[in-house]
Amino acid sequence: METNNWPLKKEMSRKAKFFVLWGGAFVASVIVYFIELVTGYSNFSIREILWLFFQTILRNIDICLISALIPATIASLIKINNKKIQIALQITVILIFSYFLFKFIRALYGTY
């Protein structure tokens, strides 16, 4: 029995795509933040780095959200007919912009 109403084949709305991209960019920003902690405190043990990460992420979550907003907006504007190339470009934009914007906004806040 075949059905044409498969729920996974429906198109996502524009808002839903934006929030998915924003979530992906937010995760990328958190990963960048964690990598900075690991490289900045390389003489600490993994347990101490994880404790420091979870203690400071709540203070710096706004930096991660703000630095994820701009790449998600730019990535949501990318429109190409080939879906695989479009997704690859969106991921590339999110990764590159998330890294540089996170470092820029963190430098503006002065939370090093």
pLDDT digits (tens, 9 = 90+) for 41-100: 878 888 888 888 888 877 778 777 877 888 888 888 888 888 888 888 888 888 888 888
Q: How confident is the model at residue 38 (pLDDT cuts 50, 70, 90)?
A: confident
Structure tokens at 85: 């190339």
pLDDT-derived band of residue 110, with 50, 70 and 90 as boundaries? low
Rounded Cα distance, 69 and 32, in Å: 15
Is the pLDDT higher at 97 or at 10? 97
For residues 70 and 102, what is the distance between their CA atoms, to the nearest angstrom? 10
Report field, pTM of the whole predicted structure over 0.85: no
- The predicted pLDDT at position 111 comes to 57
State whether the Cα torsion 105-60-47-97 is positive or negative: negative
- The reported pLDDT for the residue numbered 5 is 58
The two structure tokens encoding residue 13 = 């709305």
Residue pair 68/21 in contact by the 8 Å Cβ criterion? no
